[in-house]
Protein backbone atom coordinates (compact mmCIF):
# COMPACT_ATOMS: atom_id res chain seq x y z
CA UNK A 1 0.00 0.00 0.00
CA UNK A 2 1.30 3.44 -0.93
CA UNK A 3 1.84 5.79 2.00
CA UNK A 4 1.77 9.56 2.47
CA UNK A 5 2.22 12.19 5.16
CA UNK A 6 0.00 15.25 4.70
CA UNK A 7 1.30 18.30 6.55
CA UNK A 8 -1.52 20.66 7.46
CA UNK A 9 -5.00 19.83 8.76
CA UNK A 10 -6.93 22.75 7.29
CA UNK A 11 -9.54 22.30 4.57
CA UNK A 12 -6.83 21.86 1.92
CA UNK A 13 -4.89 19.21 3.85
CA UNK A 14 -7.97 17.30 5.01
CA UNK A 15 -9.41 17.35 1.48
CA UNK A 16 -6.13 15.94 0.17
CA UNK A 17 -5.97 13.24 2.83
CA UNK A 18 -9.51 12.06 2.07
CA UNK A 19 -8.93 11.84 -1.67
CA UNK A 20 -5.68 9.93 -1.23
CA UNK A 21 -7.43 7.59 1.18
CA UNK A 22 -10.18 6.94 -1.38
CA UNK A 23 -7.45 5.87 -3.81
CA UNK A 24 -5.99 3.28 -1.47
CA UNK A 25 -3.21 5.30 0.16
CA UNK A 26 -2.26 4.87 3.80
CA UNK A 27 -2.33 8.48 5.02
CA UNK A 28 -1.24 10.22 8.21
CA UNK A 29 -2.41 13.81 8.65
CA UNK A 30 0.05 15.88 10.70
CA UNK A 31 -0.54 19.27 12.29
CA UNK A 32 0.59 21.13 15.39
CA UNK A 33 -3.04 21.48 16.51
CA UNK A 34 -6.53 20.18 15.93
CA UNK A 35 -7.98 20.07 12.39
CA UNK A 36 -9.56 23.26 11.08
CA UNK A 37 -8.34 25.66 13.77
CA UNK A 38 -6.25 28.09 11.69
CA UNK A 39 -7.19 29.90 8.44
CA UNK A 40 -9.92 27.34 7.67
CA UNK A 41 -11.66 28.34 10.89
CA UNK A 42 -11.62 32.10 10.47
CA UNK A 43 -13.22 32.76 7.08
CA UNK A 44 -16.72 33.94 6.17
CA UNK A 45 -17.88 30.34 5.75
CA UNK A 46 -19.06 30.59 2.14
CA UNK A 47 -18.50 27.85 -0.44
CA UNK A 48 -18.28 30.28 -3.34
CA UNK A 49 -19.51 28.76 -6.58
CA UNK A 50 -19.88 32.30 -7.99
CA UNK A 51 -16.17 33.15 -7.49
CA UNK A 52 -15.24 31.92 -10.97
CA UNK A 53 -12.54 34.54 -11.48
CA UNK A 54 -9.74 35.16 -8.96
CA UNK A 55 -9.36 38.52 -7.25
CA UNK A 56 -7.20 40.75 -9.43
CA UNK A 57 -5.30 43.75 -8.16
CA UNK A 58 -7.25 46.93 -9.03
CA UNK A 59 -5.65 48.71 -11.96
CA UNK A 60 -7.79 51.84 -12.13
CA UNK A 61 -6.18 54.84 -10.49
CA UNK A 62 -9.26 55.89 -8.51
CA UNK A 63 -9.39 52.59 -6.64
CA UNK A 64 -5.63 52.47 -6.14
CA UNK A 65 -5.57 56.02 -4.82
CA UNK A 66 -8.39 55.19 -2.37
CA UNK A 67 -6.31 52.29 -1.05
CA UNK A 68 -3.11 54.34 -0.86
CA UNK A 69 -4.93 57.18 0.90
CA UNK A 70 -6.47 54.80 3.42
CA UNK A 71 -10.03 55.54 2.30
CA UNK A 72 -10.81 51.95 1.29
CA UNK A 73 -11.53 49.31 3.90
CA UNK A 74 -10.96 46.48 1.39
CA UNK A 75 -7.20 46.74 1.94
CA UNK A 76 -5.24 48.10 4.89
CA UNK A 77 -1.47 48.46 5.11
CA UNK A 78 1.29 50.06 7.11
CA UNK A 79 4.18 51.61 5.15
CA UNK A 80 6.77 50.08 7.47
CA UNK A 81 5.36 46.61 6.79
CA UNK A 82 5.16 46.89 3.00
CA UNK A 83 8.78 46.11 2.16
CA UNK A 84 8.47 42.29 2.42
CA UNK A 85 5.40 42.46 0.16
CA UNK A 86 6.82 44.64 -2.62
CA UNK A 87 8.15 41.89 -4.86
CA UNK A 88 4.94 39.89 -4.61
CA UNK A 89 2.82 43.02 -5.12
CA UNK A 90 4.68 43.86 -8.32
CA UNK A 91 4.14 40.31 -9.61
CA UNK A 92 0.48 40.53 -8.60
CA UNK A 93 0.15 43.79 -10.57
CA UNK A 94 1.75 42.16 -13.63
CA UNK A 95 -0.48 39.09 -13.47
CA UNK A 96 -3.59 41.27 -13.02
CA UNK A 97 -3.28 42.76 -16.52
CA UNK A 98 -6.47 41.89 -18.45
CA UNK A 99 -4.95 39.29 -20.79
CA UNK A 100 -3.08 37.45 -18.04
CA UNK A 101 -6.02 37.65 -15.63
CA UNK A 102 -8.29 36.19 -18.31
CA UNK A 103 -5.92 33.23 -18.71
CA UNK A 104 -5.83 32.69 -14.94
CA UNK A 105 -9.62 32.90 -14.82
CA UNK A 106 -10.02 30.16 -17.41
CA UNK A 107 -7.98 27.83 -15.22
CA UNK A 108 -9.49 29.00 -11.93
CA UNK A 109 -13.07 28.53 -13.14
CA UNK A 110 -12.43 24.83 -13.74
CA UNK A 111 -11.62 24.42 -10.04
CA UNK A 112 -14.57 26.49 -8.82
CA UNK A 113 -16.90 24.35 -10.93
CA UNK A 114 -15.75 21.30 -8.95
CA UNK A 115 -15.98 22.94 -5.49
CA UNK A 116 -19.64 22.40 -4.56
CA UNK A 117 -19.85 18.82 -5.95
CA UNK A 118 -16.73 17.77 -4.01
CA UNK A 119 -18.05 19.37 -0.83
CA UNK A 120 -21.47 17.80 -1.37
CA UNK A 121 -19.98 14.30 -1.38
CA UNK A 122 -18.03 14.94 1.82
CA UNK A 123 -20.93 16.67 3.57
CA UNK A 124 -23.15 13.66 2.90
CA UNK A 125 -20.50 11.12 3.91
CA UNK A 126 -19.54 12.97 7.10
CA UNK A 127 -23.12 13.67 8.18
CA UNK A 128 -22.46 17.42 8.33
CA UNK A 129 -25.69 18.54 6.65
CA UNK A 130 -26.71 20.51 9.74
CA UNK A 131 -23.69 22.80 9.32
CA UNK A 132 -24.55 23.88 5.78
CA UNK A 133 -27.30 26.10 4.36
CA UNK A 134 -28.10 26.62 0.71
CA UNK A 135 -29.55 29.80 -0.72
CA UNK A 136 -26.47 31.86 -1.58
CA UNK A 137 -25.54 35.25 -0.11
CA UNK A 138 -26.21 38.94 -0.66
CA UNK A 139 -23.89 41.74 -1.77
CA UNK A 140 -25.29 45.04 -0.50
CA UNK A 141 -24.56 48.18 -2.51
CA UNK A 142 -25.20 51.53 -0.89
CA UNK A 143 -25.19 53.65 -4.07
CA UNK A 144 -27.37 53.13 -7.17
CA UNK A 145 -24.42 53.47 -9.53
CA UNK A 146 -22.50 50.75 -7.69
CA UNK A 147 -25.50 48.42 -7.88
CA UNK A 148 -25.90 49.02 -11.63
CA UNK A 149 -22.23 48.25 -12.21
CA UNK A 150 -22.46 45.09 -10.09
CA UNK A 151 -25.55 43.93 -11.94
CA UNK A 152 -23.76 44.34 -15.28
CA UNK A 153 -20.80 42.33 -13.97
CA UNK A 154 -23.13 39.62 -12.66
CA UNK A 155 -24.75 39.37 -16.09
CA UNK A 156 -21.31 39.05 -17.71
CA UNK A 157 -20.44 36.16 -15.38
CA UNK A 158 -23.81 34.51 -16.03
CA UNK A 159 -23.28 34.69 -19.78
CA UNK A 160 -19.72 33.36 -19.58
CA UNK A 161 -19.90 30.80 -16.77
CA UNK A 162 -23.58 30.18 -16.08
CA UNK A 163 -23.53 31.40 -12.46
CA UNK A 164 -26.95 32.51 -11.24
CA UNK A 165 -27.81 35.78 -9.55
CA UNK A 166 -30.58 38.35 -9.37
CA UNK A 167 -30.71 42.02 -8.52
CA UNK A 168 -32.79 42.92 -5.46
CA UNK A 169 -34.47 46.25 -4.91
CA UNK A 170 -34.22 47.81 -1.43
CA UNK A 171 -37.71 46.45 -0.70
CA UNK A 172 -36.75 42.96 -1.92
CA UNK A 173 -33.66 42.93 0.28
CA UNK A 174 -35.65 44.17 3.26
CA UNK A 175 -38.18 41.37 2.78
CA UNK A 176 -35.40 38.78 2.53
CA UNK A 177 -33.50 40.16 5.54
CA UNK A 178 -35.93 41.77 8.03
CA UNK A 179 -33.08 42.32 10.53
CA UNK A 180 -31.59 45.03 8.29
CA UNK A 181 -32.25 48.58 9.48
CA UNK A 182 -31.51 49.95 6.00
CA UNK A 183 -31.04 48.34 2.61
CA UNK A 184 -29.07 50.92 0.61
CA UNK A 185 -29.65 50.84 -3.13
CA UNK A 186 -30.35 47.09 -3.04
CA UNK A 187 -28.23 44.00 -3.53
CA UNK A 188 -27.02 41.28 -5.82
CA UNK A 189 -28.21 37.88 -4.62
CA UNK A 190 -25.77 35.17 -5.67
CA UNK A 191 -28.08 32.17 -5.61
CA UNK A 192 -25.87 29.08 -5.84
CA UNK A 193 -23.19 29.40 -3.11
CA UNK A 194 -23.58 27.57 0.20
CA UNK A 195 -22.76 28.94 3.62
CA UNK A 196 -21.54 27.20 6.76
CA UNK A 197 -22.47 28.10 10.32
CA UNK A 198 -19.14 26.90 11.73
CA UNK A 199 -16.30 26.54 9.18
CA UNK A 200 -13.91 24.96 11.67
CA UNK A 201 -16.54 22.39 12.61
CA UNK A 202 -17.00 21.41 8.95
CA UNK A 203 -13.25 20.76 8.62
CA UNK A 204 -13.39 18.76 11.86
CA UNK A 205 -16.31 16.72 10.50
CA UNK A 206 -14.30 15.90 7.38
CA UNK A 207 -11.33 14.98 9.59
CA UNK A 208 -13.55 12.64 11.63
CA UNK A 209 -14.67 11.01 8.38
CA UNK A 210 -11.00 10.51 7.50
CA UNK A 211 -10.45 8.84 10.90
CA UNK A 212 -13.51 6.60 10.57
CA UNK A 213 -12.20 5.40 7.23
CA UNK A 214 -8.93 4.33 8.85
CA UNK A 215 -6.87 7.51 8.62
CA UNK A 216 -4.49 8.63 11.36
CA UNK A 217 -4.05 12.17 12.71
CA UNK A 218 -0.91 13.09 14.65
CA UNK A 219 0.48 16.20 16.27
CA UNK A 220 3.88 16.93 14.79
CA UNK A 221 6.55 19.40 13.76
CA UNK A 222 6.28 20.32 10.09
CA UNK A 223 9.73 21.91 10.24
CA UNK A 224 11.25 18.48 10.86
CA UNK A 225 10.29 17.33 7.35
CA UNK A 226 13.20 15.76 5.54
CA UNK A 227 14.13 12.99 3.10
CA UNK A 228 14.47 9.45 4.39
CA UNK A 229 15.52 6.23 2.71
CA UNK A 230 12.72 5.52 0.26
CA UNK A 231 10.65 8.55 1.16
CA UNK A 232 10.06 11.36 3.66
CA UNK A 233 9.78 11.71 7.40
CA UNK A 234 8.74 14.04 10.21
CA UNK A 235 8.82 14.02 13.99
CA UNK A 236 5.51 13.66 15.81
CA UNK A 237 4.43 13.55 19.45
CA UNK A 238 4.19 9.77 19.00
CA UNK A 239 7.68 9.41 17.55
CA UNK A 240 9.21 9.59 14.06
CA UNK A 241 6.97 9.01 11.09
CA UNK A 242 7.99 7.96 7.58
CA UNK A 243 6.15 7.52 4.28
CA UNK A 244 7.01 7.28 0.61
CA UNK A 245 5.40 10.68 -0.13
CA UNK A 246 4.84 13.93 1.72
CA UNK A 247 2.35 16.70 0.96
CA UNK A 248 2.98 20.28 2.09
CA UNK A 249 -0.47 21.79 2.65
CA UNK A 250 0.47 24.41 5.22
CA UNK A 251 -1.12 27.47 3.62
CA UNK A 252 0.83 30.65 4.45
CA UNK A 253 3.57 28.70 6.24
CA UNK A 254 4.43 26.57 3.18
CA UNK A 255 7.06 28.84 1.53
CA UNK A 256 9.07 29.11 4.74
CA UNK A 257 9.07 25.33 5.17
CA UNK A 258 10.25 24.85 1.58
CA UNK A 259 13.02 27.46 1.65
CA UNK A 260 15.67 25.05 3.05
CA UNK A 261 14.94 22.77 0.09
CA UNK A 262 15.90 25.56 -2.32
CA UNK A 263 12.40 26.70 -3.33
CA UNK A 264 11.37 30.35 -3.39
CA UNK A 265 7.64 30.88 -3.67
CA UNK A 266 6.58 34.53 -3.63
CA UNK A 267 3.40 34.85 -1.63
CA UNK A 268 1.19 37.69 -0.47
CA UNK A 269 0.22 36.98 3.11
CA UNK A 270 -3.02 38.84 3.72
CA UNK A 271 -4.06 39.06 7.35
CA UNK A 272 -7.78 38.95 8.10
CA UNK A 273 -9.84 39.43 11.25
CA UNK A 274 -13.20 38.41 12.61
CA UNK A 275 -15.34 38.77 15.70
CA UNK A 276 -18.78 37.40 16.61
CA UNK A 277 -21.69 39.53 17.84
CA UNK A 278 -24.79 38.45 19.75
CA UNK A 279 -27.09 40.10 17.22
CA UNK A 280 -30.81 39.42 17.60
CA UNK A 281 -32.56 39.24 15.26
CA UNK A 282 -29.81 38.14 12.92
CA UNK A 283 -29.39 37.66 9.17
CA UNK A 284 -30.62 34.59 7.35
CA UNK A 285 -27.80 34.60 4.76
CA UNK A 286 -24.29 36.11 4.69
CA UNK A 287 -24.11 39.70 3.49
CA UNK A 288 -21.15 41.50 1.94
CA UNK A 289 -21.19 45.26 2.45
CA UNK A 290 -19.37 46.15 -0.77
CA UNK A 291 -18.72 49.77 0.11
CA UNK A 292 -17.03 48.88 3.39
CA UNK A 293 -15.14 45.70 2.57
CA UNK A 294 -16.48 43.18 5.10
CA UNK A 295 -18.86 40.23 5.35
CA UNK A 296 -21.49 39.60 8.04
CA UNK A 297 -22.32 35.91 8.30
CA UNK A 298 -24.72 34.19 10.71
CA UNK A 299 -22.70 31.60 12.61
CA UNK A 300 -23.20 29.21 15.51
CA UNK A 301 -21.52 31.71 17.85
CA UNK A 302 -23.38 34.74 16.55
CA UNK A 303 -23.04 37.16 13.68
CA UNK A 304 -19.44 36.95 12.41
CA UNK A 305 -17.91 40.08 10.90
CA UNK A 306 -14.96 39.20 8.66
CA UNK A 307 -12.55 41.72 7.13
CA UNK A 308 -10.65 42.07 3.86
CA UNK A 309 -6.86 42.17 3.41
CA UNK A 310 -4.36 43.62 5.87
CA UNK A 311 -0.84 43.73 4.39
CA UNK A 312 1.15 43.46 7.58
CA UNK A 313 4.14 41.30 8.33
CA UNK A 314 3.51 37.82 9.70
CA UNK A 315 5.36 38.76 12.88
CA UNK A 316 3.54 42.08 13.41
CA UNK A 317 1.25 42.55 16.36
CA UNK A 318 -2.42 42.41 15.46
CA UNK A 319 -3.96 45.75 14.56
CA UNK A 320 -7.67 45.28 13.82
CA UNK A 321 -8.25 48.71 12.28
CA UNK A 322 -10.27 47.22 9.43
CA UNK A 323 -12.43 45.29 11.87
CA UNK A 324 -13.22 48.42 13.88
CA UNK A 325 -14.26 50.23 10.70
CA UNK A 326 -16.33 47.25 9.60
CA UNK A 327 -18.09 47.01 12.94
CA UNK A 328 -18.92 50.73 12.82
CA UNK A 329 -20.40 50.32 9.32
CA UNK A 330 -22.29 47.19 10.37
CA UNK A 331 -24.03 49.08 13.17
CA UNK A 332 -25.74 51.16 10.48
CA UNK A 333 -27.25 47.97 9.10
CA UNK A 334 -28.07 45.73 12.08
CA UNK A 335 -28.31 45.81 15.86
CA UNK A 336 -25.07 44.06 16.72
CA UNK A 337 -25.70 43.55 20.41
CA UNK A 338 -22.69 42.59 22.55
CA UNK A 339 -19.49 40.97 21.27
CA UNK A 340 -19.13 37.24 21.87
CA UNK A 341 -15.39 37.59 22.40
CA UNK A 342 -13.40 40.66 23.46
CA UNK A 343 -10.28 39.81 21.46
CA UNK A 344 -10.77 39.40 17.70
CA UNK A 345 -9.46 36.36 15.86
CA UNK A 346 -6.82 36.94 13.18
CA UNK A 347 -5.27 34.68 10.55
CA UNK A 348 -3.29 34.77 7.31
CA UNK A 349 -4.54 34.07 3.78
CA UNK A 350 -1.91 32.56 1.41
CA UNK A 351 -2.22 34.41 -1.92
CA UNK A 352 -0.01 33.67 -4.92
CA UNK A 353 0.84 36.63 -7.18
CA UNK A 354 -0.56 34.83 -10.24
CA UNK A 355 -3.77 34.09 -8.28
CA UNK A 356 -3.57 30.32 -8.85
CA UNK A 357 -2.86 27.68 -6.18
CA UNK A 358 0.27 25.54 -6.29
CA UNK A 359 -0.67 21.91 -6.93
CA UNK A 360 1.82 19.23 -7.94
CA UNK A 361 5.17 17.56 -7.31
CA UNK A 362 8.18 19.61 -6.26
CA UNK A 363 10.41 20.03 -9.33
CA UNK A 364 13.64 18.71 -7.75
CA UNK A 365 12.41 16.41 -4.98
CA UNK A 366 10.56 13.25 -6.05
CA UNK A 367 7.84 12.28 -3.62
CA UNK A 368 7.46 15.80 -2.23
CA UNK A 369 4.10 17.23 -3.26
CA UNK A 370 2.93 20.81 -2.88
CA UNK A 371 -0.61 22.03 -2.27
CA UNK A 372 -1.05 25.62 -1.07
CA UNK A 373 -1.64 29.22 -2.15
CA UNK A 374 -5.46 29.23 -2.44
CA UNK A 375 -5.78 32.87 -1.42
CA UNK A 376 -9.28 33.68 -0.20
CA UNK A 377 -10.67 30.35 -1.42
CA UNK A 378 -8.96 27.56 0.50
CA UNK A 379 -12.18 26.74 2.33
CA UNK A 380 -14.08 26.64 -0.96
CA UNK A 381 -11.48 24.79 -3.03
CA UNK A 382 -9.76 22.39 -0.61
CA UNK A 383 -11.70 19.23 -1.57
CA UNK A 384 -11.58 20.03 -5.32
CA UNK A 385 -7.85 20.73 -5.43
CA UNK A 386 -7.28 17.83 -3.04
CA UNK A 387 -8.80 15.58 -5.66
CA UNK A 388 -6.57 17.06 -8.37
CA UNK A 389 -3.43 16.44 -6.29
CA UNK A 390 -4.49 12.92 -5.34
CA UNK A 391 -5.09 12.13 -9.01
CA UNK A 392 -1.57 13.31 -9.87
CA UNK A 393 -0.02 11.32 -7.01
CA UNK A 394 -1.94 8.22 -8.07
CA UNK A 395 -1.08 8.48 -11.76
CA UNK A 396 -4.70 9.12 -12.81
CA UNK A 397 -5.95 11.38 -15.53
CA UNK A 398 -6.69 14.79 -13.98
CA UNK A 399 -10.30 15.87 -13.49
CA UNK A 400 -9.31 19.34 -14.78
CA UNK A 401 -6.24 20.54 -16.69
CA UNK A 402 -3.41 20.53 -14.14
CA UNK A 403 -0.66 22.47 -15.96
CA UNK A 404 -1.70 25.98 -14.82
CA UNK A 405 -1.19 24.98 -11.17
CA UNK A 406 2.16 23.22 -11.57
CA UNK A 407 4.76 24.24 -8.95
CA UNK A 408 7.36 24.80 -11.67
CA UNK A 409 5.28 27.25 -13.69
CA UNK A 410 6.73 30.62 -14.62
Instruction: Using alpha carbons, select from 259, 248, 255, 297 the residue that is nearest to residue 275.
Output: 297
| pLDDT computed for residue 84 by the predictor | 79
Total residues found in the chain within this entry: 410
Whether 317 has a pLDDT exceeding 70, the answer reads no
pLDDT at 71 over 80: no
Q: Is the dihedral of CA 62, 65, 71, 76 positive or negative?
A: positive
| Range with lowest mean pLDDT among 81-85, 274-278, 347-351 | 81-85
| 196-220 average pLDDT score | 98
Give the span between the Cα atoms of 378 and 382, in whole angstroms.
5
**pLDDT > 90? residue 148:** yes
d(CA 251, CA 38): 10
Per-residue model confidence (pLDDT) at position 124: 98
> Region 123-147: what's the mean pLDDT?
98
pLDDT for the residue numbered 313: 64
What is the spatial distance between Cα 188 and Cα 142, in angstroms, rounded to a whole number?
Answer: 12
Alpha carbon distance 222, 182 (integer Å): 48
For domain 1-55+96-124+195-265+353-410, which CATH number applies: 3.50.50.60, 3.40.50.970, 3.40.50.150, 1.10.260.40? 3.50.50.60
Helix ranges restricted to H, 127-227: 144-161, 170-176, 199-212
Helix residue ranges per DSSP H, 4-60: 11-22
pLDDT, tens only, 289-311: 999 999 999 999 999 999 988 88
**Please, what sign has the CA dihedral across residues 235, 239, 244, 248?**
negative
Is residue 265 predicted with pLDDT exceeding 80?
yes
Mean pLDDT across the chain, nearest whole number?
A: 94
Lowest mean pLDDT among 67-71, 238-242, 348-352: 67-71
pLDDT band at 68, cuts 50/70/90?
confident
Tens of pLDDT, residues 212-243? 999 999 999 999 999 999 899 999 999 999 99
Res 316: pLDDT: 61
**For residue 122, pLDDT beyond 90:** yes
Q: What pLDDT, on the 0 to 100 scale, is given for residue 371?
A: 98
Query: Roughly how many angstroms between the first and final C-alpha of the chain, as a whole number?
Result: 35
In angstroms, rounded to a whole number, what is the distance separating the alpha carbons of residues 211 and 394? 21
Residues with Cβ < 8 Å from 66, sequence gap 6 or more?
72
> Considering only the top CATH level, what class is 56-83+125-194+267-351?
alpha beta
Whether the per-residue pLDDT at 81 is higher than 80: the answer is no
C-alpha span between 400 and 408 (Å, rounded): 18
The domains of the chain are located at 1-55+96-124+195-265+353-410, 56-83+125-194+267-351
Among candidate residues 193, 247, 285, the one with its CA nearest the CA of residue 17? 247
Amino acid sequence: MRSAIVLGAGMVGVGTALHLQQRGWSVVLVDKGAPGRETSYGNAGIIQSEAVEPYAMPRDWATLFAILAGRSNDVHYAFRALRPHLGSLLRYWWHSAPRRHAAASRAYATLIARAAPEHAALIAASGADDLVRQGGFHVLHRAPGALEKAAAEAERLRARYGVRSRALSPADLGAAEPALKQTGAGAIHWQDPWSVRDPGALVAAYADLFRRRGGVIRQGEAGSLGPRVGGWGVRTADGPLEAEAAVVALGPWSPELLRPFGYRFPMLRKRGYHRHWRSAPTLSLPLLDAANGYVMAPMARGLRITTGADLSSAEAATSPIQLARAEAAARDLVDLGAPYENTPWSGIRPCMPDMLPVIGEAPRHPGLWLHFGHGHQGFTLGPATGRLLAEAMSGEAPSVAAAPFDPGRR
